[in-house]
Amino acid sequence: MGDPGTKDRLTLEELEASGSIRTGRKHILSILVENKPGVLTRVAGLFARRGFNIDTLSVGPTDDDHVSRITITLDGANHPIDQVTKQLHKLINVLKIRDLEPSETVARELALFKIAADGTQRAEIMQICEIFRGKVVDVTKRSIIIEITGTTEKVEAFERMVRPFGLVEMMRTGEIAIARGRGET
Amino acid sequence: MRAVEAVMECLKAEGVEVVFGLPGGANIPTYDALYDGGIRHILVRHEAGGGHAAEGYAKATGKVGVSLGTSGPGATNLVTPIMDAMMDSVPVVFITGQVKTELLGTDGFQEADVIGITMPAVKHSIMIQHPNEIPRALHEAFHIARTGRPGPVVVDIPTDLSRVDIPYEPITDVHLPGYQTFTEGNAKQIRQAAKALAAARRPVIYGGGGIINSNAAAEFTEFCRTDRFPVTCTLMGLGAYPAPDPQWLGMLGMHGTRAANYAMDEADLICCIGARFDDRITGKLSEFAPRAKFIHVDVDPAEISKNIPAHIPIVGDAKNVLVKLIAEYRALDTEAHRLDEWWQRIDGWQKQYPIEKSFTDSEDTEIKPQRLIQAVYEATGGDAIITSDVGQHQMWTAQHYPFKAPRQWINSGGLGTMGFGLPAAMGAAIGCPDKTVVCITGDGSFQMNTQELATCAQEGIPVKVIISNNGYLGMVRQWQELFWEKRYSNVDLGRFPDFVKLAEAYGCHGVRLTDKTTLVDDLKAAIATPGPVVVDVSVTREENTYPMISPGAAARDMVG
């Protein structure tokens, strides 16, 4: 039997009060895994099982063919992440996990913005693009595509600036991160 | 040799003598190799029976159990035993057949994504992608299943790959860079723990299934006796300390003794070894052992501070840590009579609330279920391997059958799987042929894997099944009575089926007992009957399991 409780009704407040401890900040988890089928599912599954919502996820190769790196960002204000890192360590295919300290980490993401722009607006958009050190990668008579690299905050700031022009669509990679200094991430 | 023949070689190299399973289309190649492979195979009647039998075998012997199933429904029938083995840390390797590789992902006949389905239920799983991988995968599976915190490993072999000729060489190493076990225990932390124990005025030792898994019952007992430490164990830890005994408080938790639960509540130091502060132990978490500091010894780092923050965490194998802890504790000067006051308090609870008085025996010949368990204890001299199913009879067995030795008590604790008892008894009987193996079950649980009586009859497995028959799903009925205003919703099973006739139909001996006065002798006679026996015992219909920590309540508010 699970916990069937009693016939007394449970209030929503009581439900919410039963949550566990949160760190209250954004976390970047850098996870080295064996490059094998199904490993991403195992990692993602651990988050899903605890009801955690992953904010961003990026997976890529490393300098070793047998090893891939998964970078996950999630909000410690919403989820207690200590338990989940311990559980991640238990996965046989997980080699190493680091919960990166934000001040000791360089994190970047790549974003592509497709903006509705006719002749009159193009110049102003390109000016904003220059301020954000973006790159124009495609132009048509009615649209422009801009590539931005930077921190999440920078990408979001650019989005706020160009949205009024008519944002057709936006693609973001999610952050990858590397530890500052000589040591390995 | 063919890949399946390499499978047999690997199993033999791992010391496997017996496997439990059922063939189907996708694992015919494996069964072809089993035909003359030199390994005993027990043909079960349902894969779940085979999975639980492998668990029972593993729990009784300490060896890795092996369970086989075909693809699709064969594999999905194994999901419950896999999860059960995960929750109770049982080393079992499950080998499933899979459709041929060209059919993978096409909804082929009897195809199921067993790796995907079982992912949250396994310690690890391996999908074979090349036949040459098979020997290494199997050895790694055994290594992972038995080391560290034991658990289930699934190896899924597509049928075409199992028919390929492969170069087989014995594997003598494993290469698992992401798999580390921490078994030694930090020496400094162990010294800290010894000092804390020496300073404690109201200590309690709280042991769990980890002690059984690490074969550390002798060390645990010795450790508890380095001083007059009060000892309690979880449901999974029963047998780790020989009961009854002056230092033994009984089981703790929801249906534990008052002495054990009150001692936890008032303790100033709780030393937890190989247990995990499960919700059935703590009750209301915020009011659990409010005055205590915690030493937590566990081989799984993820258990430390999961539910209760540990003041002195020790990651290590129970046996290794206990050996060092004993030495450290003995090296300290301890005050001889510092625990006297604590024991006076505990003795008071023990005298006031002995478990024998947790029920009132009938005045006529009616058999109370608690009395039945006491009678089984008497009839077996307390020496049998006891398996149980899940529900009231399980708690009554834990309360009224004092276990003397580890691996004597086999049940489904974490997952609480009804239908576990009979196949687990089967596996235990095959692993320990010299022991009397008794399955204590309920009429609800028993019907969830009754088909294995046929296996017992055919193989001559002499398990003695004792059904505590109250015609109810008793534990649910109890909760409905106590907490849901006695609205008995769908718990009445009536008196169906006739278990004596059922036993006979399966080729087993069946007997019905209804009289308290001759109960012990009747049980002795039934247990002495050769071969598999089913004893249907009519017990009081509406009897409750007490004492009890009500849901959401604290230990000190036990009822009954």
- The structural domain count of chain B equals 3
> Does B302 sit within 8 Å of A83, measured CB to CB?
yes
Q: Which residues of B touch A37 (CB under 8 A)?
A: 127, 129
Mean pLDDT, residues B342-356 taken together: 96
Pair (B55, B150) in one structural domain? yes
Q: pLDDT value at position B271?
A: 98
The answer, yes or no, to whether residue A76 has pLDDT greater than 80, is: no
Pair (B348, B364) in one structural domain? no
pLDDT band at A77 (very low <50, low <70, confident <90, very high): low
Domain boundary among B352, B383, B398: B352
pLDDT single digits (tens) B433-468: 999 999 999 999 999 999 999 999 999 999 999 999
Look over chain B and give the mean of its residue pLDDT values, rounded to a whole number: 97
Q: pLDDT value at position A1?
A: 52
Q: Which residues of A touch B120 (CB under 8 A)?
A: 45, 49
Asked if B181 has any chain A CB less than 8 Å from its own CB, the reply is no
Write phi, then psi, for B316 (nearest 5 degrees): 180, 170
CB pairs under 8 A between A and B: 57
What is the domain-level CATH number for residue B240? 3.40.50.1220
> Does B302 sit within 8 Å of A92, measured CB to CB?
no
Asked if B104 has any chain A CB less than 8 Å from its own CB, the reply is no
Q: pLDDT value at position B388?
A: 98
In a domain, B88, yes or no: yes
In a domain, B168, yes or no: no
> Does A87 sit within 8 Å of B178, measured CB to CB?
no
Q: Report the alpha-carbon distance of residue B266 to residue B554 in Å, rounded.
A: 12
In a domain, B140, yes or no: yes
Q: pLDDT value at position A12?
A: 73
Task: For chain A, give the number of residues.
Answer: 185
- B550 to chain A, closest Cα gap in Å: 9
Pair (B86, B118) in one structural domain? yes
Pair (B300, B384) in one structural domain? no
In a domain, B523, yes or no: yes
B277 close to B305: Cβ distance less than 8 angstroms:
no
Provide the domain limits for residue B330.
Answer: 187-352
Q: Which residues of B touch A91 (CB under 8 A)?
A: 124, 178
Beta-bridged to residue B538, according to DSSP, are: B469
> Does A4 sit within 8 Å of B479, measured CB to CB?
yes
- A87 to chain B, closest Cα gap in Å: 6
Give the mutation candidate from B483, B489, B550 for the A interface (greatest A CB count, under 10 A): B483
In a domain, B234, yes or no: yes
- What tokens appear for B25 in the block? 């289309």
Mean pLDDT, residues B373-380 taken together: 98
Lowest-pLDDT choice from A21-30, A110-119, A146-155, B364-373: A21-30
Which runs of consecutive H residues, i.e. helices, occur in B62-173? 73-76, 79-87, 114-118, 134-146
Pair (B120, B24) in one structural domain? yes
B341 close to B201: Cβ distance less than 8 angstroms:
yes
Pair (B339, B215) in one structural domain? yes
Q: pLDDT value at position A120?
A: 87
Give the mutation candidate from B101, B114, B119, B475 for the A interface (greatest A CB count, under 10 A): B119
Give the mutation candidate from B117, B124, B286 for the A interface (greatest A CB count, under 10 A): B124
> Does A6 sit within 8 Å of B552, measured CB to CB?
yes
The answer, yes or no, to whether residue A53 has pLDDT greater than 80, is: yes
Q: pLDDT value at position A52?
A: 82
Mean pLDDT, residues B89-98 taken together: 98
> Does A89 sit within 8 Å of B301, measured CB to CB?
yes
Q: pLDDT value at position B503?
A: 98
> Does B306 sit within 8 Å of A42, measured CB to CB?
no
The answer, yes or no, to whether residue A20 has pLDDT greater than 70, is: no
In a domain, B487, yes or no: yes
Pair (B321, B441) in one structural domain? no
Q: Which residue of A has its CA nearest to B418?
A: A1
The answer, yes or no, to whether residue A19 has pLDDT greater than 60, is: no
Q: pLDDT value at position B465?
A: 98
Mean pLDDT, residues B524-535 taken together: 98
Mean pLDDT, residues B225-237 taken together: 98
Pair (B298, B321) in one structural domain? yes
- A162 to chain B, closest Cα gap in Å: 42
> Does B301 sit within 8 Å of A86, measured CB to CB?
yes
Q: pLDDT value at position A4?
A: 64
Q: pLDDT value at position A79?
A: 65
- A30 to chain B, closest Cα gap in Å: 15
Asked if B494 has any chain A CB less than 8 Å from its own CB, the reply is no
Asked if B115 has any chain A CB less than 8 Å from its own CB, the reply is yes
- A181 to chain B, closest Cα gap in Å: 25
- B551 to chain A, closest Cα gap in Å: 6
pLDDT band at A9 (very low <50, low <70, confident <90, very high): confident
Pair (B287, B403) in one structural domain? no
Asked if B476 has any chain A CB less than 8 Å from its own CB, the reply is yes
pLDDT single digits (tens) B271-303: 999 999 999 999 888 999 999 999 999 999 999
pLDDT band at B560 (very low <50, low <70, confident <90, very high): confident
- B310 to chain A, closest Cα gap in Å: 14
DSSP assigned state of B423: H
The answer, yes or no, to whether residue B77 has pLDDT greater than 90, is: yes
The answer, yes or no, to whether residue B166 has pLDDT greater than 70, is: yes
Asked if B120 has any chain A CB less than 8 Å from its own CB, the reply is yes
Mean pLDDT, residues A91-114 taken together: 94
pLDDT band at B337 (very low <50, low <70, confident <90, very high): very high
> Does A37 sit within 8 Å of B129, measured CB to CB?
yes
Q: Which residues of B touch A3 (CB under 8 A)?
A: 279, 551
Q: Which residue of A has its CA nearest to B484?
A: A7
The answer, yes or no, to whether residue B265 has pLDDT greater than 90, is: yes
Mean pLDDT, residues B134-157 taken together: 97
The answer, yes or no, to whether residue A3 has pLDDT greater than 70, is: no
- A100 to chain B, closest Cα gap in Å: 20
Pair (B7, B51) in one structural domain? yes
pLDDT band at A82 (very low <50, low <70, confident <90, very high): confident
Lowest-pLDDT choice from A70-74, A118-122, A123-127: A118-122
Q: Which of these, B496, B548, B313, lies nearest to A1 by C-alpha position?
A: B548
Q: Which residues of A touch B177 (CB under 8 A)?
A: 34, 95
CB atoms within 10 A of CB B405: 14
| % of chain B at pLDDT higher than 90 | 96
What is the domain-level CATH number for residue B148? 3.40.50.970
- Top pLDDT among A97 and A51 is at A97
DSSP, collapsed to helix, strand or coil, labels residue B327 as: helix
> Does B115 sit within 8 Å of A5, measured CB to CB?
no
| DSSP annotation string for B14-71 | TT--EEEE---GGGHHHHHHHHTSS-EEEE-SSHHHHHHHHHHHHHHHSSPEEEEE-S
Q: Which residues of B touch A34 (CB under 8 A)?
A: 177-178
Query: What domains are defined for chain A?
Result: 12-100 (3.30.70.260), 106-179 (3.30.70.1150)
pLDDT band at B416 (very low <50, low <70, confident <90, very high): very high
Lowest-pLDDT choice from A73-77, B92-96, B225-229, B509-513: A73-77
> Does B179 sit within 8 Å of A92, measured CB to CB?
yes
Q: Which residues of A touch B300 (CB under 8 A)?
A: 90
CA atoms within 13 A on the CB side of B432: 23
B477 close to B488: Cβ distance less than 8 angstroms:
yes
For B120, the closest of A6, A45, A93 (CB atoms) is A45
> Does B416 sit within 8 Å of A86, measured CB to CB?
no
Pair (B291, B315) in one structural domain? yes
Q: Which residues of A touch B552 (CB under 8 A)?
A: 5-6
Q: Which residues of A touch B178 (CB under 8 A)?
A: 33-34, 91-95
User: CA dist B281 to B275, B296, B498, Å?
Assistant: 10, 15, 37
In a domain, B545, yes or no: no
> Does A49 sit within 8 Å of B484, measured CB to CB?
no
Mean pLDDT, residues B53-79 taken together: 98
Q: Which of these, B11, B34, B9, lies nearest to B21 by C-alpha position?
A: B34
Q: Report the alpha-carbon distance of residue B432 to residue B39 in Å, rounded.
A: 17
> Does A6 sit within 8 Å of B302, measured CB to CB?
no
Sheet order of strands, B437-442 included = B409-410, B385-388, B437-442, B464-469, B533-538, B509-513
Q: pLDDT value at position A22?
A: 59
| % of chain A at pLDDT higher than 90 | 65
Sign of the C-alpha dihedral computed for residues A117, A123, A128 and A133 taken in this order: positive
Pair (B304, B366) in one structural domain? no
Element (H, E) at B110: none
Lowest-pLDDT choice from A180-184, B84-88, B473-477: A180-184
Q: pLDDT value at position B487?
A: 96
In a domain, B143, yes or no: yes
pLDDT single digits (tens) B170-205: 998 999 999 999 999 999 999 999 999 999 999 999
User: CA dist B88 to B21, B150, B272, B498, Å?
Assistant: 21, 9, 17, 33
Q: Which residues of A touch B475 (CB under 8 A)?
A: 1
Mean pLDDT, residues B360-388 taken together: 97
pLDDT band at A114 (very low <50, low <70, confident <90, very high): very high
The answer, yes or no, to whether residue B407 has pLDDT greater than 80, is: yes
- A80 to chain B, closest Cα gap in Å: 11
